[in-house]
Structure 1
């Protein structure tokens, strides 16, 4: 005789159907304790749960155990393809350890970011991963620390290192971008910088200046973008080209800025790389599909996300000691947007 699924089947109903005690059914249906039940018994209990349509109430279980097994993740822009592999890396590690993620798109407004984090804390997350942090005394991180919620930063870090972080080696990443351009014969190289309230913008600009000065080249051709977006890249890139008309190459602080620069070049009747070579930063998905395919500094985003999740698990378990800053190595991926310096450079605009 087939059992008729109840509207809200209980744990006791599952236990009765499987012929086991209620506590055994509870252990078998909890991913954290299923290993304590013999395989054949656990399979019988889980099959009974499926037949009855039973769903474990994780929220109720969390209230009893004071463990929600939820982690909050705050990202500034879900439309930015950089964050997809970071999230994949985080969720893969969390899932293997019995945790689920609540992902929130915060935008760049600090008040909105604080409100979102407050909502995540209100949903009893056991830890937080922030991809939103500003360079100096980030107020969102301050809120997390005041609430005593274990918090890890990813992709960006604070100057004071108040929380563990996983970042790329931004200084070295920009160094290899500049050295690549110098190796192609370029001497008039500009930098399309990211926002200077973010660690990625600050460190990549510093890396550009250090690499240029080490080579004995002028590092003054810099324009800062207001945001990491194509639109901001087009505006700042156009200003960079107009102010420094003799540039033959530009190292951009991220790929979206580089793509915005593509548009600014086209508006001025210039081509890449024949007139100006361009290097991006991040090697986000699909930059190999644009024309020309973008040379970019590859950051190991998925690895970065996985490492951030592991750091957070250490924080939540109490196994972490001190503030850990982990740095992943970058790699230059050469494509069609960079080429050897043309025999004749463009002339600087008349002053």
Structure 2
């Protein structure tokens, strides 16, 4: 007797093994309809399918249901460690509903992102998770809306009529500013994120609002927006701030990669962290606790962000759930990159 291969195993064979009708087996193997099958029967079907190596015919299922059980995700840099836990949590939540995740990386090119939307739509994805959206006139978002393709924004806001799962960026930056001020810093500059992105805008606003609430001045030129969320861009922005901000004692960065660039700029300027200057980041991406000194940063709940975004998208796919924003609370993680300013350098009177 030959052992059946997954390609030779069909739904009727699974049903026969489990002692149920093929329609019952079909419902038991579909996460969306499994609740309609008695638990003992569903268990027998799933056991038989696993033992026989059965895999549903995705193309046939798509033709029958009008859905591919595929979800796309666009991220601006797949190598960015921030997105790994977000995507992993999203993929796990989607898998619970029988969906698989396809990830595309258009970088920082909005037009390329729109092309990816078209390509994924041609593959009949059921919806999209977008981490690439800029604040205004975003082509990828426009492409989704034009096709009526369900979409959810991740770590971005600004898409009118499209739900988003974001961290409270203003509150996060305020946590960093208040932490530095509590240490005695008064001359704090901001390495900002890209202006076209909601994270760049809101974290800058959070910095300026927190400084104003503490009665600390932000002189002209003490905020520098990086052109992208990258280490090289962070070094360039931080170098400009160090050159033109006399007596700066702390750099509050809008992103951990920017903070790593600020480390490079400080070392090149001969400034030890935190003895001569403090640096804070934003995101708490993996491994920033392993650098020297470990980075003080604002932690975003990445896994929860991915999980909530996936479930929100599934709600839109299945039920057409209304748009809205899920705002997650950040926390501050204090590590070795922040400390008190050197004696006599905390006074803002000379600004």
TM-score, normalized by length of structure 2?
0.91
The aligned residue for residue 349 of structure 1 is: none
Q: How far apart, in 2, do the equivalents of 1:91 and 1:313 lie?
A: 12
Q: Is the 8 A contact 1:156 1:165 kept in 2?
A: yes
Q: 8 Å contact 1:3–1:51 — kept in the other structure?
A: no
1:190 aligns with 2:166: no
Any idea what SS the aligned residue of 1:207 has?
helix
Q: Using the alignment, how far apart are the partners of 1:246 and 1:193 within structure 2?
A: 19
Question: Retained in 2: the 8 A contact 1:133–1:140?
Answer: yes
Q: Kindly indicate whether residue 119 of structure 2 is the aligned counterpart of residue 115 of structure 1.
A: no
Secondary structure at the counterpart of residue 153 of structure 1: strand
Question: Which residue does 2:230 correspond to in 1?
Answer: 229
RMSD value, Cα: 2.1
Aligned in 2, Cα 1:301/1:52: closer, same or farther, shift over 3 Å? closer
- Find the counterpart in structure 2 of residue 99 from structure 1: 99
| Residues 1:43 and 1:307: Cα distance change in structure 2 (over 3 Å) | closer
In the alignment, which residue of structure 2 is the partner of 1:276? Answer: 277
**Cα–Cα, structure 1 residues 24 and 308, in superposed 2: closer, same or farther, change >3 Å?**
closer
Instruction: Say which SS state the counterpart of residue 252 (structure 2) adopts.
Output: strand
Aligned to 2:316: 315
Whether 2:252 is the aligned partner of 1:251: answer yes
Aligned equivalent of 1:206: 205
Residue range with higher mean Cα deviation, 330-339 or 31-40: 31-40
Aligned-pair CA distance for 1:245: 3.3
Distance 2:339 2:192 in 1: 21
Q: Deviations over 1:63-98 (max 9, x none)?
A: 111122221111111111111121122223222223
Asked if the contact 1:3–1:52 (Cα under 8 Å) also holds between the matched residues in 2, the reply is no
Larger displacement relative to structure 2 (40-49 or 56-65):
40-49
Alignment of 1:29-108 (within 5 A): 29-39=29-39, 41-46=41-46, 48-50=48-50, 52-108=52-108
Contact 1:5–1:51 under 8 Å retained in 2: no
Aligned to 1:156: 156
Secondary structure of 1:250's aligned partner: strand
Contact between 2:111 and 2:139, CA under 8 Å: does it hold in 1?
A: no
Instruction: Tell me, in whole angstroms, the C-alpha distance in 2 between the residues paired with 1:52 and 1:329.
Output: 46
Q: Distance in 2 between matches of 1:14 and 1:93?
A: 26
**8 Å contact kept, 2:71–2:126:** yes
Q: Which runs of 4+ in 1 moved over 6 A?
A: none
Contact 1:169–1:330 (CA under 8 A) maintained in structure 2:
yes
> Does the 8 A contact of 1:74 with 1:131 survive in 2?
yes
How far is the alpha carbon of 1:226 from its aligned partner? Answer: 0.9
CA distance in 2, matches of 1:215, 1:29: 58
Change (3 A) 1:49 1:331: closer
SS at match of 1:280: strand
Distance in 1 of aligned mates of 2:17 and 2:309: 42
TM-score, normalised to structure 1, is 0.91
String of CA shifts for 1:130-188, please: whole Å, max 9, x gaps: 01100112111011000001111110111x63311111111111111111111111111
Once the two structures are TM-superposed, the CA of residue 126 in structure 1 deviates from its matched residue by 1.2
Give 1:38 shift. Answer: 4.7
The CA distance in 1 between the partners of 2:93 and 2:84, in whole Å, is: 15
- Matched with 1:134 is 134
- Asked if residue 238 in structure 1 is aligned to residue 239 in structure 2, the reply is yes
Separation of aligned partners in 1, 2:297 and 2:114: 33
Q: Give the conservation status (yes or no) of the 8 Å contact 2:31–2:97.
A: no
Give how far 1:9 is off.
Answer: 3.3
What number of residue pairs does the alignment pair up?
343
Alpha-carbon shift at residue 198 of structure 1 (Å): 0.4
> Could you say which residue in structure 1 is the equivalent of 2:307?
306
Q: Which residue of 1 aligns with 2:349?
A: none
Which consecutive residues of structure 2, in runs of 5 or more, have no partner in the other structure? 347-351
2:287 corresponds in structure 1 to 286
Provide the secondary structure at the position in 2 that maps to 1:341. coil
Q: Is the 8 A contact 2:31 2:96 kept in 1?
A: no
